[in-house]
Amino acid sequence: MGGSARVVVVTGGTRGVGAGIARAFLDTGARVLVCARRPPERPVATGRGTARFLPVDLRDPDGVRAFFARVEEEHGRLDVLVNNAGGTPFQRLGDGADERHARILGLNLVAPLTASLAAHRIMRRQAGGGCVLMIGSVSGTRPSPGTAAYGAAKAGLDHLARSMAVEWAPEVRVNTLVLGMVRTAAARLHYGDADGVAAVARTVPAGRLAEPDEIGAAAVFLASPAASYITGASLLVHGGGERPAFLDAANAGHDVIHDKEG
């Protein structure tokens, strides 16, 4: 398949954040491939093009290597890999089987490692090298009760990206987008109904959750020539983070004092 457009792979790019990232790269004119175990309900597309879907189970190393070999054979190169696939249900560490937590670690840490290694084998041989982006989370930067295995995996992913950036420089740049809360269908699974999502959004300094296309814009920047000197970095895309709980507690205490004085 000819053409000079960049070739971009977005894992888990069929919905949510991944689809937002895929759309952003499509709008740059890139040839975008999205992969997951199941095809999207509708094609991921913009006015500039449609992402190609290829099936793969990212937890199957042989399947992952075969997937990237197919990408190179059919497209001739690979310029950008976005390791977006992942996620977790809410489950405290003491609940459920140990193997369940291990599977979460596998999907969110081992699978991106496997995909990155396969991508690197292509990128290191081609003119211009390439770029690998990890999709991290604020869950990997602070305690994450209920999603502890996921948080541990995301913390490891950030460290892995920094090490890759050193080992693979200068041919391949590796960076991490550290995401806060994003408005997707999965948000309601974690935060409840619309009122619950709105209440959570008010805890973010920006006053709202991120939109998937905003995450896509950040990914496009890190993969662009404008970011050519950025590698081994972690870009926080979290709307200012999370308002410290002690501030609300302190304000509540002041309110009680004022009520008593009144």
Judged by DSSP in three states, 32 sits in strand
CA distances from 202 to 8, 17, 217, 240, 261 (A): 35, 21, 23, 12, 29
Residue 217 CB: number of other CB atoms within 10 A?
Answer: 14
Which residue's entry shows tokens 């890139």?
30
Active-site positions? 150
Contact call for residues 188 and 16 (beta carbons, < 8 A): no
- 130 forms beta bridges with 172
Alpha-carbon distance of 153 to 144, in angstroms, equals: 11
> Which pairing describes strands 31-36 and 45-46: parallel, antiparallel, or unpaired?
unpaired
Q: Report residue 124 as tokens.
A: 């290191």
Report residue 137 as tokens.
């989370």
